Structure 1
C-alpha cells in the first residue's frame, strides 16, 4: 500500500483498501457539500472518481466550499478538483466533466461500471433525473438534501428519504419521487428546522426578514455543508467495503 494511505490501512486492512482502490464513484456537484466529499474520497483511497460540475468559483463560495480560494475565483470547479487530487493522492484517477448533468448525458457520465453515485446537486430537476436513472439501472446512489439555512451539523444523518423531516428540499423530493414510483432513497438530511435568512444588500432572499427583492438563495455556514459531504463519503466508502451494519 502507498505510504500516504498507511494510516487508513491500519484501520481498514489491506483487503478493504484494495476494494476502495478498485471502486469507481461518480460525484455530481463540487459545491459546499460535494467539494468536501470529493476530498474525503481522494484521501480515503477511492481509485477512480468522476466529478461533474459546470460552474466556476465566485466570491460567495469562499465561506463554505473547500476547493475555493481567492486564487480560484473565476476558475472552473472541476479544474480545481483535478489539481487538488494530484496534490493529495496521485494513485487516485480523477476524470473531470465540465457539464450540467441531465437526461441528455446521463448514460455517458454514469456508465455501467459505476459502483456508486453521489448526488450533491442543487437543482431538483437534475436530482430527479439522476435518481430515476440510477434506480432504473440498479446503480447505488446516495443523495444530499438541503444544508442551507442550518446551523447544527450534529443534526445531519443518513436515512431513507421517507423518514426525513424539517427539510423543504426533501419534502419536494419525496413528492416528486413518489410520483415517479420511487419510494426509497438513501439520503443525508438534517432534522434541524431551517432558519429564515436575513436580507442583506445584494443578496436578498425569498421569505427573508425585510426582503428587498424576492430570490431563493439560502444562507450557509462553513460547517454544515462540509459535514454533509463527510457523511456522504463515509457512507459510500463503508458500503463499498461492506462495513455497514
Structure 2
C-alpha cells in the first residue's frame, strides 16, 4: 500500500480503487476551488484538471492556497504544489467550452464567480446526471460555515449570488437540474469581504459531495 494513501484506504477500503479511477475538472481555483482541489488530490482522485486565467495578487492571501506567489499564474503555482494535475490557463467562455469535451470527465466543478461563465458552463453540462456537475454560489460576505447548504439549483434560497445564474437559466428556458453549494446567511458587509473558514468550507463541501457520490455509485 502506498504510504501516501494508507490512511485514506483504511477509511474507504475496497472503494478507494473507484476514487482513483475518476476524472475531475475544476473551473476556478481561488478561495473555493483551491480547497476542493486540495481535498480531492489528497483523497486520491486519479486525474484532475484545473482551469483558471487569474494571476495571484496580494488580496488573495487571506483565503487562497498558493497565494504567497504574488504575480504568478494560479495554475502554474498549483501544478507545482500538486504534482500530476493538469492545468489550463484559459478564460471560461463559449470558445473554450465548445472545444472542451466535458464528457471525458466524471465530475465538473464550477468554482468561478463570473455569472455569464457560470451560465455557459451549466448549459454545457445540462445532460450530466444530477451530482456530477456541482456549482459553488456566493461564499463572500459570510461568517458562518455552519450555514452552508447543498441542494438543487432550483431549491437554493437566501443567496443573492445564486439567484443571478438561476434567473439567467430560467430566461434561457433551461429546465435541467444540478447541484449547488450555497449559504442563505445574510451578507455581513458591503463589497467582497471574505473569510477563509467559509470559502474553504465551500470548497471542502464540494469535494465531499464528489467523494460521497462516488461511494454511493459503487
TM bin, normalised by shorter chain, reads over 0.9
Structure 1 residues not aligned, in runs of 5+? 87-92, 198-204, 206-217
In the aligned structure 1, how far is the partner of 2:50 from the partner of 2:35? 12
- What root-mean-square deviation, in Å, do the aligned CA atoms of Structure 1 and Structure 2 show? 1.7
Question: Quick check: 2:126–2:176 contact (8 Å CA) kept in 1?
Answer: no
1:222 aligns with 196
**What SS class does the counterpart of residue 33 from structure 2 fall into?**
helix
Q: Which 4+ runs in 1 deviate beyond 6 A?
A: none
CA displacement at 1:141 relative to structure 2? 0.3
TM-score (norm 2): 0.93
Q: 2:189 aligns with which of 183, 196, 200?
A: 196
The superposition leaves residues 176-231 of structure 1 with CA deviations (integer Å, 9 ceiling, x where unpaired) of: 1222223522000002111232xxxxxxx4xxxxxxxxxxxx11112110000000
Contact 2:28 2:110 (8 Å CA) reproduced: yes
* 1:94-122 deviation line (CA, Å, top 9, x unaligned): 11000011111114334322101000011
CA distance in 1, matches of 2:195, 2:10: 33
1:12 Cα shift?
Answer: 0.6
- TM-score (normalizing by structure 1): 0.83
| Secondary structure at 1:30 match in 2 | coil
Q: Which moves more between the two structures, 109-118 or 134-143? A: 134-143
What number of residue pairs does the alignment pair up? 216
Q: Which runs of 5+ in 2 are unaligned?
A: none
Q: Distance in 1 between matches of 2:40 and 2:100?
A: 18
Query: Partner of 1:12 in structure 2?
Result: 12
- Larger CA Rg, structure 1 vs 2: 1
